[in-house]
Structure 1
């Protein structure tokens, strides 16, 4: 049966290395694991490697996530209004851009007697969620007027998630300027200035550090795959074997003069067309919901039915595999 294999020593090494690297830049490290509710057994293990409990998470209404005491769960995704009172109680802080949602959180904070911590994502070219930098002048006074129910912790920016542009030094300058303008409006220092995803590591390495004021780096892909998401280059010092997808051969037969191998991995499990066979002799031909087909004609050893074939993943195939309820985990201790 196909499975997602996790090398726990390799993953722990990457997480520990990223914590040390971010510390060398003067930043905290947030481990992004949006699929924690889907993969609670892996989440339990990863918490052992994150002593400060700083995780970037996602809310799945049908899969409640138990967040233990001491864990700093940051809800990275915007949440529908009906779920806001629940997530406000469960998570340490919420990323939010909608003034309607912020107003609902404000009302909840006032009613509960506990201010809701929020972080404002800022749009810096990725094209996803985020306030525009020029909105700071309006939102700052608006938030200050609601300080009895909302606590603004700071700002964040996301790079190379929807868009294909790498982060730049200028982007970080804009983010810090938004922080400064919001500080002037709310009347206190905003300690939280967070940047992600993993491609920010390449910028930090190129710059030899990060500007003063950047307090956190958020990463997921670098920890799981050991690569920069934009171009797939290895992140120096990290392992690329922490996660593998294993498919089992259910048919191996010559058809039209070519050896075709059918695997029990399909689109319900991951994005098969984005998988990378570790054996270079294999070539992807296509996939349906439950199967993938590879050309194995050039392989020196013919794959047999029952054999396992290992694949590397990229950001999208990893996210789909983590989220799939059809694909079991195989956690390897050695």
Structure 2
């Protein structure tokens, strides 16, 4: 018997997206870090990324990167290492993103104990206000990193869009390029990686406005959903529907659309607001906020209205649909990156890879 709720992943569509995007990047001498965190370290997806041409596998969790030890590509940790995980990072990660000199010093010390050289990408703050050192601090950091025997500066990078929503531009990525030139000249070294951001940087690539020294992008959402994230544009030649959510109806009844009685706080400490539409046909589905934020879901049946959710229940208004739903029927939803990330993390949601 089929288990629900479930996320259904079309691996062939992802495979096509990976090939299209890695080819596009190669044409501009850009290597791709394939980001896998949205599938919680699924080895099948990781293999498709490698087969499709990504040069590195990246994830924010060392727990996921450990699953890829059989795959012969460098593993990149894209979240700054925690001090409490230094030993694991050095053992299982080839390259880590860093912005704290104290953390880099710990990595250097642990790498010495493990008789390894740990590679790092030094992250720069160029406006988005997430991780990264300020440009004026680069030389201070470099002076200290240069003295560390078990650390190799593999490159520098920037994160844009993810927190502050700052769009990658020729100007802000040119700053990264200038900092790379400064480091290479003053410290007499060659940076192998100049990482110009994530899927939001693809718009520059499509417009042929990427600064020439940028040779690396960290792509996750674009590989799965076939779109650039700066403006939400679909990318030519890619599939946009490689994943979907299927959920079962467990109750279907006509009820008033406005609750009866005094309205207080709901299960999440919020006072809900309702629109009185009179009596409507309402379906309850077997999924809830413990699994996904309902605001990130979109029903494929455009006539359905998502009314809200509790921990384990999703409530829909199905009155206007042309389909005559019944208990046990399956409702399908389109997903975005945020909803897919939540759903694949939930142990209560089945994951099906076709």
Shared fold by TM > 0.5? Answer: yes
The residue that corresponds to 1:267 in the other structure is 289
Q: TM-score, normalised by structure 2?
A: 0.87
The residue that corresponds to 2:206 in the other structure is 205
C-alpha contact 2:62 2:92 (8 A) present in aligned 1: no
Distance change (3 Å), C-alpha of 1:109 and 1:323: same
Distance change (3 Å), C-alpha of 1:61 and 1:19: closer
The residue that corresponds to 2:138 in the other structure is 136
- Which of 113, 118, 129 does residue 116 from structure 1 map onto? 118
Q: How well do the aligned residues superpose, as a CA RMSD in angstroms?
A: 2.0
The residue that corresponds to 1:191 in the other structure is 192
Q: CA deviation at 1:287?
A: 0.9
C-alpha contact 2:122 2:155 (8 A) present in aligned 1: yes
The residue that corresponds to 1:4 in the other structure is 7
The residue that corresponds to 2:272 in the other structure is none
Distance change (3 Å), C-alpha of 1:51 and 1:237: closer
The residue that corresponds to 1:56 in the other structure is 58
Q: CA deviation at 1:112?
A: 3.2
Residues matched between the structures, number: 329
Query: Deviations for 1:134-164, whole angstroms, at most 9, x for unmatched residues?
Result: 1112111111122x11100001111211112
Query: Deviations for 1:67-112, whole angstroms, at most 9, x for unmatched residues?
Result: 2251211011112212112211211111111111101111123333
Q: CA deviation at 1:290?
A: 1.1
- Which of 21, 26, 29 does residue 24 from structure 2 map onto? 21
Map 1:55-134 → 2, pairs under 5 A: 55-59=57-61, 65-134=67-136
CA distance in 1, matches of 2:197, 2:220: 9
Query: Deviations for 1:275-299, whole angstroms, at most 9, x for unmatched residues?
Result: 1111211111101111111111111
C-alpha contact 2:125 2:135 (8 A) present in aligned 1: yes
Q: CA deviation at 1:57?
A: 1.1
Distance change (3 Å), C-alpha of 1:195 and 1:71: same
Q: Gaps (5+ residues) in structure 2?
A: 257-278
Distance change (3 Å), C-alpha of 1:190 and 1:205: same
CA distance in 2, matches of 1:269, 1:65: 23
User: Which is higher, the Rg of structure 1 or of structure 2?
Assistant: 2
Q: TM-score, normalised by structure 1?
A: 0.92
C-alpha contact 1:53 1:73 (8 A) present in aligned 2: no
C-alpha contact 2:47 2:71 (8 A) present in aligned 1: no
Query: Deviations for 1:199-221, whole angstroms, at most 9, x for unmatched residues?
Result: 11112212x25222111111111
CA distance in 2, matches of 1:108, 1:177: 32
